[in-house]
Amino acid sequence: MRAVFVQTFVVLLLPVTIGTAADRPNILWLIAEDFGPHLGCWGTKEVSTPNLDALATAGVRYPRFFTTAPVCSPSRSAFMTGMYQTTIGAHNHRSHRDDGYKLPEGVRVLTDWLRDAGYFTANVRELPPELGFKGTGKTDWNFAYEGQPFDSDRWADLKTHQPFFAQVNFQETHRTFHAPRHADPDKVEIPPYYPDHPVTREDWAKYLDSATELDRKVGLILKQLKEDGLAENTVVVFLGDNGQSHVRGKQFCYDSGLNVPLIVRWPKAFPIPKHFTPGTVDERLLASIDLAPTMLAIAGAMKPEKMQGEIFLSDSAGTPRKYVFGARDRCDETVFRFRTVRTERYRYIRNFTPERPFLQKNDYKERQYPVWTLLPELDAAGKLTPLQKFLTAPTMPEEELYDVVADPHETKNFASSAEHQGTLKELRIMLEQWIEESNDQGRQLEPPELAAAKGATKTGSDPNAGSSPKEREKKQKGAKAAKKTD
C-alpha cells in the first residue's frame, strides 16, 4: 500500500509549466447531485440520456469511480482539495459553517492551485438566457474559505479568459424531484433490497425522470460549448458528487452510495494523453480525490507533494489503485461512523456504531424519502423479505463483506463466511492502516449536543449556510438585517 498519508502539512510552491492559452486545454466539469451511474450507457432502462451516452462514446467511461464520502459536503470538500475529508477535518456533513474552521496548512482548493498555473476559474451560475436555466453554483465545503474561490460565475467570461477551469452544477437528481414524466413505474428495475411496491416504483421512476432532465440540460451546455468555439480545446468531465438519493444509497457506504458516473471527453485540438483511449471503458479503480491532481497534470502543473489523490491520466499517472476508501460520519442530526475499502471484487465495511439502526431518525430522510417511511410500515405488516428487513433491524453488523462482482447489489454479507476469512482479514488490515496513516479525524465522534444541532456551534446558526451562493447570500442578508436591528 502506498505511503501517501501524513499528519502534518507544509506549504509547497508548485513548479508549473506556464504556456499560452493554446498550449493547454480548458477544463469543464459538469457535476450532478446525488446521482448513481443510471444512464443509458450504463445499461439503465426507462431513462433517456442521449447526450451523456454520446459523451461516453466520444470519450472514456469509468465504471469504477468512487467518491470518498456518500453525501455532498464531505465529498465535495474532498474532491476539491484532492484530500480525504477525514484527513482535513471536513468529514461531518455541513460542519464548520459558523466556527471559522480553515484547511490545514498547505491544503488548498483546486482552483487556487490552478490559478497559480495561469487558469481562469468559474463556478457558473449565469448561462446564456436562451438555455432557460442557471447553474446552482454549489460549493458546500466543510471549511471556511477566505476570499473568492472562483474568478467568475458567468459563462460569458469563459471565451475571453482561456485557459479556464469551470464548473456547472446541476440540481435535478437531488430531491425534491421535479422533472417531466418519462419513465414507466411498472417497467423500472428496482434493487432487491427495496420492497416492490407502487410507492417504490413511483419514486424510482421520478429519479430516472430527473436523470433524463439532467441529460437534456447537459446537452444544452455541450451545444453552447460548441457554438462558442470551445469544444475542440476543452476537456469535459461529467461526474456525480455522491451516490443515488435513495434509501441505502446516499449517506451509506455501499456501492450505491459511493459509486458515481465519471465520463471524460478529450478535446480534438490536443494530443491524447497516456492511459486515455476514446470510445472505451476504463475499469481502473479511481477515487474522486484523484480528479484534482489529474486536472493539475492536464494544466501542466505538478501534483503537490502532500495531495492524497493520484494522477490517472498523462505521463505522470501512477500505478493503478488496488484499493479505494470511503467514510461516512454525522449527516444532519444523525450519527453513524462507517469506514470502507473497495477492491475490484470486494467491498468491506466497518461499522463503528453497530448499536444504531439503519433507519436511525433523520428529519431530512423522513421528509424527502417516501421509501424511508414505507419500510417500517411494511415491516409491521409482515410484508418485507429477509433481505429488506435488514433495513429495519434495530442494529447493524459490525462488519460487512460483499463480493460485488457476483453480487452487485451487495445483498449477501460474507463477513462470517469461513471461505472468505482471508479476504476479510486483508481488507480489515488495509482499512485499519488507512485510518492510521491518513490521520482519520473521525475517530472521536462529535459531542451529542453538537450533533443534535446539526453541526451548528452558535445559537441561530444555519448548518446549511454556505452550501451555495444562494445560501451564502441568504446568510449575508440575515446578518445585515440583524445589524440594522441592533
pLDDT > 60? residue 7? no
What's the sign of the alpha-carbon dihedral 331, 439, 78, 160?
positive
Cis peptide before 57 (omega within 30 of 0): no
Answer yes or no: are the C-beta atoms of 97 and 461 closer than 8 Å: yes
Give the integer Cα–Cα distance in Å for 279 and 468.
Answer: 35
pLDDT the model gives residue 344: 98
pLDDT the model gives residue 479: 47
Element of type H or E holding 435: helix 421-437
| Residues comprising the chain, all counted | 486
Catalytic positions are: 72
Amino acid at 127: L
Q: What are 291-326's pLDDT values in tens digits?
A: 999 999 999 999 999 999 999 999 999 899 999 999
Give the integer Cα–Cα distance in Å for 213 and 149.
Answer: 29
- Rounded to 5 degrees, φ, ψ at 151 are -80, -20
- Percent of the chain with pLDDT strictly greater than 90: 90
pLDDT the model gives residue 15: 39
Amino acid at 326: G
Nearest to 348 by CA among 432, 290, 284, 283: 432
Q: What are 201-210's pLDDT values in tens digits?
A: 999 999 999 9
Q: b/e map of 374-386 (b: 16 or more CB within 10 Å)?
A: bbeebbeeeebee
Give the cell for residue 82: 484532492
Nearest to 336 by CA among 261, 403, 398, 405: 398
Cis peptide before 15 (omega within 30 of 0): no
- Percent of the chain with pLDDT strictly greater than 70: 91
Distance (Å) of CA 376 to CA 58, 252, 348, 366, 379: 45, 18, 27, 12, 5
Mean of all residue pLDDT scores within the chain: 93
Q: What are 252-274's pLDDT values in tens digits?
A: 999 999 999 999 999 999 999 99
Give the integer Cα–Cα distance in Å for 263 and 115.
Answer: 24
Burial class (CB in 10 A: 0-12, 13-18, 19+), 418: exposed
Amino acid at 21: A
3-class secondary structure, 205: helix
Q: What are 414-468's pLDDT values in tens digits?
A: 999 999 999 999 999 999 999 999 999 999 999 999 999 999 999 989 888 767 6
Bridge partners (DSSP) of residue 324 are 342
pLDDT > 90? residue 128? yes
CA atoms within 13 A on the CB side of 94: 24
Nearest to 67 by CA among 398, 291, 330, 268: 291
Give the integer Cα–Cα distance in Å for 231 and 157.
Answer: 15
Nearest to 153 by CA among 124, 117, 176: 124
Give the integer Cα–Cα distance in Å for 275 and 313.
Answer: 6
Amino acid at 60: V
Q: What are 16-68's pLDDT values in tens digits?
A: 444 445 699 999 999 999 999 999 999 999 999 999 999 999 999 999 999 99
Q: What are 329-369's pLDDT values in tens digits?
A: 999 999 999 999 999 999 999 999 999 999 999 999 999 99
Query: pLDDT-derived band of residue 167, with 50, 70 and 90 as boundaries?
Result: very high
Give the integer Cα–Cα distance in Å for 82 and 291.
Answer: 7
Distance (Å) of CA 168 to CA 33, 127, 352, 417: 11, 9, 36, 45
Give the cell for residue 299: 494544466
pLDDT the model gives residue 5: 42
Amino acid at 42: W
Answer yes or no: are the C-beta atoms of 231 and 25 closer than 8 Å: no
Bridge partners (DSSP) of residue 350 are 339, 399
Give the integer Cα–Cα distance in Å for 170 and 215.
Answer: 10
Question: Which residue reads 482479514 in cell numbers?
Answer: 425
pLDDT > 90? residue 123? yes
pLDDT the model gives residue 468: 60
pLDDT the model gives residue 473: 56
pLDDT the model gives residue 475: 52
Q: What pTM was computed for the model? A: 0.93
Answer yes or no: are the C-beta atoms of 4 and 308 closer than 8 Å: yes
Distance (Å) of CA 389 to CA 204, 243, 406: 20, 22, 22
Please list the helix, strand and coil fractions of the chain in percent, rounded to the nearest 5, in that order. 30, 15, 55
